[in-house]
Amino acid sequence: MTSHTTFDVLSLTDEARNVVLDALANEELNATLALWVEVTGIMGTGYSYDLYFSDIADAPEGAAVGRDGDVTIVVPGSSVERLRGSRLEFASDGGGGLVLVNPNHPSSEEINPGVPAEILAMGIESELARLAISVLDNEVNPSIASHGGRADLVALDDSHKVAYIKMSGGCQGCSMSRMTLSQGIETALRNAIPELSDVRDVTDHASGVNPFYADAH
């Protein structure tokens, strides 16, 4: 594990530290417990997180381990750079709770996995991309809005005429989303843009409401 004497990955406000210490006081064997903070995925344009107590000795190789006052903090290696400079605060709104303020944001490649960086860099301002967006907004989305679904163009490869689509709402993780793509979205796009060679779904269906891609763990 990586030990930080001056912990520069994550800090706690006084209120947040007191909340954590109060919670630790109610835990058995609290002397061996640390506050673990890790990035679990992406939600919208930001990260999603998990905060929990676990034994300090379980910190894996590459984890950052440090202290903020009397609180020992463990950040798994994969989350260190994504959390560096973050601050854990206590928000009194809505009954009160801990809130992580993170200056870091997912990259375009993280938000849109499956889309090559060079394709993302092309943007979606071309004439073909604007036409695809118009088809989605005017033909596709009104028809799938009844079950809370939405489809958006995230990238378009003008050279190879490939559209990259991300579904959200009721379509994300829905077992029918493959049919929605092939029989609804793709058909509408190909009818309007015959030169399209492929329509690819880059949705993270594993994190949807009804995921049909099982987690590997």
Q: Tell me the CB-side half-sphere exposure of residue 145, using CA atoms within 13 A.
A: 9
CB 202 within 8 A of CB 166: yes
Pairing relationship of beta strands 2-3 and 162-169 according to DSSP bridges: unpaired
Q: Are residues 133 and 39 in the same domain?
A: no
Residue range(s) defining the domain that contains residue 92: 2-105
Is residue 47 a part of any domain in this protein?
Answer: yes
Question: Which DSSP helix (H) or strand (E) runs through 168?
Answer: strand 162-169
Q: What is the CATH number of the domain that holds 157?
A: 3.30.300.130
Each residue's pLDDT tens digit, 79-122: 999 999 999 999 887 667 899 999 998 877 676 667 777 888 88
The tally of domains found in the chain comes to 2
pTM > 0.75: yes or no: no
Each residue's pLDDT tens digit, 167-209: 776 444 444 444 455 457 888 998 999 999 998 888 765 554 4
Last residue of a domain, one of 70, 90, 105: 105
Q: Are residues 91 and 139 in the same domain?
A: no
CB 141 within 8 A of CB 173: no
Each residue's pLDDT tens digit, 34-65: 999 999 877 767 888 999 999 999 999 999 99
Is residue 217 a part of any domain in this protein?
Answer: no
- Average pLDDT of the residues of the chain: 81
Grade residue 71 by pLDDT with cuts at 50, 70 and 90.
Answer: very high
Q: Are residues 119 and 72 in the same domain?
A: no
Q: What is the CATH number of the domain that holds 6?
A: 2.60.300.12
